[in-house]
Amino acid sequence: MKTMLSMLCMASLGTAAFLAAPSAHAQTSACNFNAHAAAVAGVGPTGNIVVLAHRGVWGLVKGAHNDPENSRGAIETARDSCLDGMELDVKLTKDQVPVLMHDFNLGRTTNVYARNSPAAQKYDPYKNTGDNPTVSFLTAAQVTALQLLDNRNRDLTGYHVPTVESALDYWSISPKGTVVFDVKDVLTMQKVIAAARASLGTRLAPLGAGLFYKLNATMFPTYAAYLSAAGANAHITPIPVYTPNMLVKIDVPASYADWAKHVHHIEIDMKTTNGLLSDIYNSAERNPGIKVGVFNAIPDADRSTGEFFKNNGQCCYKLNDLLVVSPTLRDSTDQRGSFGYVTDNFDIITTDDPFGLLDTL
């Protein structure tokens, strides 16, 4: 069983690892620093838990100020609250500019309905009616002109859709905590690298120690495949992600064994103890150089009923709807919504309720 984080207020800009000691340039009087571990090969786990704010600190959760997901306000709260870091979702516009957006579509979170006519129909995620174009259908100029809706997807806020470059511009003013970008394809990853270079310039090498991206292992089953696409000087650290449905797409044990030779952090979304990914989870737990992450799934559509929005913005599904991988592969349940389950079993936890999670530690 994992032990709990003893000092919650820290910023972890390390030497290509969450768990390394923070760089001197990141230290401010607002945060006290807790070096989780030396995070080099051969150093064992300390039992501390890293908490990442998924989409920043947003919504109706404690400390969120009712800000929209993936907004500058959500970034600001995550950055200035001494959280370990934040995970931000990235999609590409029509002209291949990376912007912060969770869904592949724009209807649920923005006023895209008003781009042509104020009389256009606002998207209703519960009825799946109204204007809901994909991010890739509009240019960056069009997307960044859109206003974000509040966390209930009702009223307009003062926030616009940020580009990755503008988000890094803002974060780097006071780079407290790590930034993790969740990317879904090779081109998006490459555009994130380009945006980091454009934003940080000569500061990319030192500040890059605080930058990561999560990459589904199906994108890059091996580290060599990743390196070929990213280049040796990306200055952003990859975190391979394994989910149960990958068992029918790639050789997951072989992929994990290869990546584990090159990285210190791997996300293994094992849904339940002794679940479908328990073999590679157990291998990672026995490896003193690996910290194991997980996604703590907090329902974003209706927490009381356990419902999530789909990745096109449409309502809804529940975690247990996704247990079946194939006719012969299925998990019994999905416990990742339980703070107890994730804190007992994982080192790095990405959650939509970071302060709620911290309250349990």
CATH number at residue 291: 3.20.20.190
Q: Tell me, yes or no, whether 210 lies in a domain.
A: yes
Q: How many domains does the chain have?
A: 1
In a domain, residue 239? The reply is: yes
Where does the chain show beta strands of DSSP type E?
A: 50-54, 85-92, 98-100, 147-149, 156-160, 178-183, 211-216, 237-242, 265-268, 291-296, 308-309, 315-317, 324-326, 329-330, 348-351
* pLDDT the model gives residue 318: 95
138 domain-assigned: no
Is 157 among the domain residues? Answer: no
- Residue 81 has a pLDDT of 86
Q: Determine phi and psi for 31, rounding to 5 degrees.
A: -130, 140
Q: Model pTM greater than 0.85?
A: yes
Cα 356 to Cα 320, 334, 351: the distances in Å are: 23, 19, 9
- Alpha carbon of residue 207 to chain centroid: 18
Count other C-beta atoms under 10 Å from residue 95's C-beta.
12
pLDDT in tens, the chain (361 residues): 333 332 333 333 443 445 443 322 233 334 443 322 322 222 223 347 899 999 999 987 877 788 999 999 999 999 888 889 999 999 999 999 999 999 999 999 999 999 876 667 899 999 999 999 999 999 999 999 999 998 888 889 999 999 999 999 999 998 888 999 999 999 999 999 999 999 999 999 999 999 999 999 999 999 999 999 999 889 999 999 999 999 999 999 999 999 999 999 999 999 999 999 999 999 999 999 999 999 998 999 988 999 999 999 999 999 999 999 999 999 999 999 999 999 999 999 999 999 999 988 8
**Residue 361, pLDDT score:** 81
pLDDT of residue 118: 64
Q: Does some domain include residue 28?
A: yes
What is the reported pLDDT for 147? 96
The answer to whether position 330 is within a domain reads yes
Residue 241: inside a domain: yes
The C-alpha atoms of residue 88 and residue 54 are separated, in whole angstroms, by: 6
Which tens digit of pLDDT belongs to each residue from 3-42? 333 233 333 344 344 544 332 223 333 444 332 232 222 2
Residue 30 is predicted with a pLDDT of 43
Determine the pLDDT at residue 151: 80
* Residues of the domain holding 191: 24-90+164-360
Find the angle CA(95)-CA(100)-CA(102) to the nearest 5 degrees: 110
Q: What is the DSSP string of 227-285?
A: HHHH-TT--SEEEEEE-GGGGGTS-HHHHHHHHTTT-SEEEE---STT-TTHHHHHHHH
Q: Is residue 116 domain-resident?
A: no
